[in-house]
Amino acid sequence: MSVIIKRLLALAEKRGVCVAELPGLDNAGYFVANDGRFFIFIDRSLRGYKKTAVLAHELGHFVRRRIDTFAVVQDCDMHREREDMADRCSRRLLMFVRKGLWG
């Protein structure tokens, strides 16, 4: 397991986010907020950088949880914007984690 993913997992744990790897997901990862509790589910088949990138992306949703409503989004543009913001957030998160400044 890479240092980066270990730091991301430590960050998730520190923030109270439960991370689980599950088989057979129909998406690479999910972030779920339910009743004040937070969960990230990652497809168990992912390896290496893809797994790290998916975890960072889902943590990006966690960071933005107060901005995103997590209501089911029917509007494709709104969904794409939400995903783009999670990607931007994950890139910043990975930069800080690589430098050892966060996590």
Q: Which residues bind Zn ion (CB under 5 A)?
A: 83, 86
Q: What span, in angstroms and rounded, lies between the C-alpha atoms of 40 and 94?
A: 17
Residue 86 Cβ vs Zn ion, minimum distance, rounded to whole Å: 5
Closest to Zn ion by CB, 27 or 99: 27
Q: What span, in angstroms and rounded, lies between the C-alpha atoms of 51 and 31?
A: 14
Count CB-CB contacts under 10 A for residue 29. Answer: 23
Closest to Zn ion by CB, 44 or 101: 44
Residue 90 Cβ vs Zn ion, minimum distance, rounded to whole Å: 9
Residue 100 Cβ vs Zn ion, minimum distance, rounded to whole Å: 26
CA distances from 52 to 57, 61, 74, 79, 98 (A): 9, 15, 28, 22, 12
Closest to Zn ion by CB, 72 or 101: 72
